[in-house]
Each structure stands twice: as structure tokens, then as C-alpha cells.
Structure 1
Amino acid sequence: MSRRTMLVTLAAVVAILLAVMLVFLANSDSGISPEDRKGTEFVEQTEGGAGEEQFPAADPVPEEGAEGTVSRENENYEFVLRNYHNYVTVYTLPEDTLYEYTDVILDVLPEETKEEIRQGKYLRNEEELYNFLENYTS
């Protein structure tokens, strides 16, 4: 084999190895353990796209009456947290439209918080919303 043929062959092998390494690195996880990634699959699957499936809004939560419970009629709530396929989702009020999917799994929340979300946890503003999300996503 001539020296030139050997150099071309060596260059081709190096180029192929570099391409394989780049593909491997591009497809590998970002160093996050599978346990830490738990719950993010739902969010990744529902992010934008032309064929994105439209999900119906959650069933509205009935207002509580005069039996000693708090009525939300006169209060200024901007958001409500609800259970959707065992994940916490955020809806805007008063339209009751989907605002955001979260990667917060209902099963990992404290029992009291789970029940609040099943009933519809009302939040007054974005600060309350992001405080809640920060507490349960970090």
C-alpha cells in the first residue's frame, strides 16, 4: 500500500470515528440521572408541533356554598391547579383554559396538597403559581 493510500484511509477512519462520537454525544442524556428526569416525559411529549394533540379542559370545579366553606365567587384568582393524567396542570381563570403542563407528578406531593389539587387549587397571581411550582420541581 502506498503512503498516500494509507493517509487517506487513516483520515477516513478518523472522520468516521468523530462522526460516531458526535452522534453519540448528541443523543445521550445531559448527565441527569433517570430518577431526576422522572416526570419530564409528559412535558416533552406535549411540547409544540403541527400534530399536537389538543386536550380538553379539566372539568370545572363547582363553587362551594354557604355550608361554612369559602366561596370563590368574589375572590380574584388568576390560576387553578388541577389533576390531569396524574400530573399537575395549570389553567387560567376566568376562562378556565389550559395555561401550562407541568412535570409535577401528583403522587409525589403531600397528601393534603394532592387533595387540594384534585378539588382545584386556586392561586391569586403568577407569584403564587411560580412559588408553588418552584417548591415541587426543585
Structure 2
Amino acid sequence: MAPVASACTKGLSFREPSGVLRIVAENGPRDRPGTQASQSSFEERLMTAERRAGVSSLSETGGNAGRKGSDGLSRQDFTALGLVFRLGTELVSALVVGVAIGYGLDRWLGHRPLFLVTFSLLGGVAGVMNVWRFASKAGPN
């Protein structure tokens, strides 16, 4: 057990505070969260990572979210695709829940098609209402 512990703590001494100081010295100074220096260094690292990935940030495009990245997709495309998946998932999940409740009640009470049909329709209506509610909140855009 001692060789594993010594390999993991190579160069550190837990009895002396110099081990902690050595870690800080090797990693470089860290800014405190919330300070101006940490915010600017974060933005620099973010822009560097986005440049490497080929994605343009809002600050580089001047707020133009429609600018295309190296893969030919814009941020608006990604948000629209996410919106489609979210609304589709809400619609399908409401329908699945309605079918499951109807099937469970039919099986439990012995009425074969009655509750399945009823709750399938209710699940479909609930899904459409969820999509409609979200679309009306989103506005005309």
C-alpha cells in the first residue's frame, strides 16, 4: 500500500506546508472566482476553445447568432433543433403516459378497449396542449 501512496503523492509532503505551496507554484496562480481577472481569463480561454472547435462566439460576431461555424450550422440551427426535439418529446411522452394509464386501467379492471382509447386521446390532447402552451409563450418568433 505504501508504494501506491508514494506514487500518487510524488513530490508532496503532507507534514510540511511546503507541499501545498509546491502544488500552487506548479499550477500557477489562480484568480478568485468573481473577480475581474478571473472573468477576463475565462473569456479568453472560452474564445480560444471556440476558435479551436471552429465555433464563433457571440462576442466575436457582434451578437450575430446566425453566423455559421466550420460545420455549416449556426447557433440558431442548434436552438431550433433543440426546440423541435423538446416539443416532440413532450408530445410523445404525454401520449405514452396516456396509453400506459389506459392500458393499466383496462388490465386491472377488465375493460379491454375502453380506458386505453380514452386515455390515449387524453394523452394526445395533453401533449398538443403542452406544445400549444409553449408556442404561445414563445411569441410570434
User: Does TM, normalized by the shorter one, top 0.5?
Assistant: no
Higher share of residues assigned helix: 2
Normalised-by-shorter TM-score class: under 0.3
Higher strand proportion, which one?
Answer: 1
The TM-score normalised by the length of structure 1 is 0.22
Higher relative contact order (CA 8 A, sep 6+): 1
Larger Rg: 2
